[in-house]
Amino acid sequence: MNLSLALNTKQLEAVKTTEGAVLVLAGAGSGKTRALTYRIAYLINKGIDPYNILTLTFTNKAAEDMKRKVKELIGDVSKRMWMGTFHSICVRIIGQNIKALGYDRGFVIYDQNESKDLISDIILTMNLDKEKYDPKIVLNMINKAKMNMWSKRELINNYLEIGGGSEEFYQNIGDIYLKYNEVLKDNNAFDFNDLIGKAIELFEMNEDILEKYQERFKYILIDEYQDTSPFQYKLASMLAGKHQNIFVVGDDYQSIYKFRGADMENILNFNEDYPDCKTIKLEQNYRSKKNIIEASNALIANNYRQFDKKAWTEKDEGEPIIICEALNEYGEADYIAEEIDNLIKFSSYSYNDVAILYRSNHQSRVLEEAFIRRRIPYHIVGGLGFYDRKEIKDIISYLKVAVNPQDTIALKRIVNTPKRGIGAKTIDKLINHAQEHVPEFNLFSFAQEDNSLGLFDVMKDPSGVSGIGKKTAERIKQFRRDLEDVITVKESRLTLPEKVDKILKVSGYQAMLELDGSETALNRLDNLAEFLALTENYYNKNQNRDLEDFVRDLKLLSDQDDMNNSNQIKMMTVHASKGLEFPVIFIVGMEEDTFPHYRSVKSGMLEEIEEERRLCYVAMTRAADRLFMTYARERQRYGETRSMTPSRFLDEIPTELILEGNHYRNL
């Protein structure tokens, strides 16, 4: 492995600085992944046991990409190394020490919809008004509290400080917060935010367990450090506490996930946390033409609190940046469609070389209409993720019930799918009856080792429930018998893929779609076939994993790369484009209140505008060859036609980098 031929001087320095804390400031397109993978290979070649190396990423796609590249460099020797997202690594830590946290091995992980349903049930049992305590809003508040490690009192005080509600309102939110955490524990369940929080809790309560992992992970590497939350920062600090060999790669210019809990201060203060750290700047850009780099440098220079660095390239100047003014959003879409047609006809580009980036999802509609009229193929990245599709959520719910029949949320989802004549009102009657007449009943109990009864148990004999007739009662009993068949499959000696396939059949779900025969049903069958392929792939990687492992790990699969390789234009939000690159980029809606977003403008806070500017920087640096930026003089907003002002970010691009020196090109 000849490093001097594979890496530039700064990358080589990053790879070979193996001891102590290292901060690598890696600009867009500067080869940070290359530096990371070569560093891992270098450590192992130097004699470091892969067992002692931990690499933390933010997406499964990034982890898989790095694993593949490390394997190409040094072979299968890297298998003993832990590499994955913060959440997946924490699941492994929790799984290895689950008893110390007071949970059972067969724990489950709730997604956002399941958490919302649980909160909805809690609001119901607390007799609170769902109009006032919207479950989705309450969940967002709880998520924020968990990401910031707030207690109930801190949640109340912090939201009171923000304003917009009474103390009684926030007191009730705090009570929901406590009840929600209590129910998760009773159900042997975690939500997504718990995964890191519980790992931290495990370490805080058990010094010996923390020391075991500190001793194991003598070398810690973290990608995209600018996106770490207080949770992730604390976890990394604890793990690195003994050996201090922590290597972080990031770019403060690309810190755009504050709304997800990311704290840019983590990277800005790294040299304060580790005073002896070495800082290395990767400033050579291998992606973009010179004009694009100079334009993005000029833009980001308007931010104040950031590291001093400047991207450069050995590539040629490239085409000027085109900034186009349109009359309205329809003119903007027509212009983009026409330019794409020209690029395909008169240049060497294909459709999959082009991406359309927008600040908000709703901006895609008018563009879609223009592309349909011109027969331009397109794909909306993140429009509806694979795991968000109804049929996938349905079959996952069947698998959850197979693993744990007391999973009330999963049970309620599938009770009438396929149709069984058991509606939501019937289930509510059954629950209300059980709450009044069955002392052991607990709607929230998933625990299988205590004496409480759940929805699955009371379904065994629904006779005598007011409002439930004999026919409906028999349907409920038959449904429970069907589920017993599903549970039997789980207990069988079949392989994991065979179990999932059989549950599809035993549940009647596959037959329902086959009998339907509509185009929608056939598409759903195709998606279920893809799900079976996914199951097979998961099983082939480790044949010791069973249904419990699969159901839990499904929560960790990332839909961020909702990409396909077909020849289509890709359309996505700027946030979704992070980490991607395309030869041609169109950034649409470059107006005040659109980009920067109106909430940031309205806040009047410098830090909000600076995050929007970083977001624009990310959008611009996705482009390798050509960059188009468009705005409209007027736009429909909330049923009204509004006059728009060009984005301040356009004025921050030097005019000499724009087509013919004109700041705007008019339609």
The CATH number of residue 397's host domain is: 1.10.486.10
Closest CA to 1 of 34, 50, 49, 29: 34
- Which of 622, 626, 635, 648 is flagged as catalytic? 622
- Decide the pairing of beta strands 82-85 and 108-110: unpaired
pLDDT at 560 over 50: no
Of 127-131, 502-506, 516-520, least confident by mean pLDDT is 516-520
- Asked which of 284, 318, 345 is the last residue of a domain, the reply is 284
Q: Return the number of other C-beta atoms located less than 10 Å from residue 192's C-beta.
A: 16
Assess whether 404 and 337 both reside in one domain.
no
Assess whether 503 and 399 both reside in one domain.
yes
Q: Return the number of other C-beta atoms located less than 10 Å from residue 120's C-beta.
A: 17
Closest CA to 126 of 427, 572, 444: 444
Collapsing DSSP states into helix, strand and coil, what is residue 160? Answer: helix
Verify whether residue 223 is a known catalytic residue: yes
Phi, psi values for residue 84, rounded to 5° = 175, -175
- Which of 117, 224, 329, 591 is flagged as catalytic? 224
279 is in an annotated binding site: no
250 is in an annotated binding site: no
Assess whether 407 and 379 both reside in one domain.
no
| Residue 48 pLDDT level (bands cut at 50, 70, 90) | very high
pLDDT in tens, 51-90: 999 999 988 888 888 888 888 888 877 678 899 999 999 9
Mean pLDDT, the chain, rounded, equals 88
Q: How high is the pLDDT of residue 259?
A: 82
Assess whether 448 and 324 both reside in one domain.
no
Assess whether 247 and 360 both reside in one domain.
no
pLDDT in tens, 205-264: 999 999 999 999 999 999 999 999 988 999 999 999 999 999 999 999 999 998 888 899
pLDDT in tens, 169-182: 899 999 999 999 99
Report residue 30 CA to chain centroid gap: 24
Collapsing DSSP states into helix, strand and coil, what is residue 583? Answer: strand
Which 8-state DSSP code applies to residue 415? T
Q: How high is the pLDDT of residue 324?
A: 94
- Which of 214, 226, 254, 510 is flagged as catalytic? 254
User: Looking at the 3D structure of the chain, how many domains does it have?
Assistant: 4
pLDDT at 451 over 70: no
Verify whether residue 472 is a known catalytic residue: no
Which 8-state DSSP code applies to residue 419? -
pLDDT at 413 over 60: yes
Assess whether 89 and 133 both reside in one domain.
no
Mean pLDDT of 319-343: 94
67 is in an annotated binding site: no
Residue 102 in any domain: the answer is: no
Integer Cα distance of 503 and 508 in angstroms: 8
Assess whether 442 and 408 both reside in one domain.
yes
* CATH code of residue 26: 3.40.50.300
Q: How high is the pLDDT of residue 664?
A: 43
C-alpha torsion angle, residues 644, 648, 654, 659 (rounded to 10) = -20
Assess whether 147 and 219 both reside in one domain.
no
27 is in an annotated binding site: yes
Secondary structure (H, E, C), 162-227: HCCCCHHHHHHHHHHHHHHHHHHHHCCEEECCHHHHHHHHHHHHCHHHHHHHHHHCCEEEECCHHH
Assess whether 446 and 546 both reside in one domain.
yes
29 is in an annotated binding site: yes
Residue 48 in any domain: the answer is: yes
Residue 469 in any domain: the answer is: yes
521 is in an annotated binding site: no
Residue 290 in any domain: the answer is: no
Q: How high is the pLDDT of residue 385?
A: 58
Residue 192 in any domain: the answer is: no
- Which of 32, 39, 67, 287 is flagged as catalytic? 32
**Which residues are 312's β-sheet partners?**
284
Verify whether residue 254 is a known catalytic residue: yes
Residue 100 in any domain: the answer is: no
Verify whether residue 224 is a known catalytic residue: yes
655 is in an annotated binding site: no
Cα Rg of the chain, angstroms:
27
Q: What is 422-485 written as a DSSP string?
A: --HHHHHHHHHHHHHH-TTB-TT---SSSS-B-HHHHTT--TT-TT--HHHHHHHHHHHHHHHH
| Residue 44 pLDDT level (bands cut at 50, 70, 90) | very high
Assess whether 56 and 148 both reside in one domain.
no
31 is in an annotated binding site: yes
Q: What is 620-651 written as a DSSP string?
A: HTTEEEEEEEEEESEEEETTEEEE--B-HHHH
Residue 400 in any domain: the answer is: yes
- Asked which of 523, 556, 589 is the last residue of a domain, the reply is 556
Q: Provide the terminal-to-terminal Cα distance of the chain, rounded to the nearest Å.
A: 54
pLDDT at 3 over 80: no
Residue 99 in any domain: the answer is: no
* CATH code of residue 174: 1.10.10
| Residue 515 pLDDT level (bands cut at 50, 70, 90) | confident
- Asked which of 158, 187, 216 is the last residue of a domain, the reply is 187
Give the range of the structural domain holding residue 244, as residue numbers without chain letter.
Answer: 3-94+197-284
Assess whether 422 and 496 both reside in one domain.
yes
Q: How high is the pLDDT of residue 445?
A: 59
- Which of 17, 33, 495, 568 is flagged as catalytic? 33
Q: How high is the pLDDT of residue 625?
A: 97
Assess whether 409 and 303 both reside in one domain.
no
Vertex 237 angle, CA 231 and 34, to 5°: 95
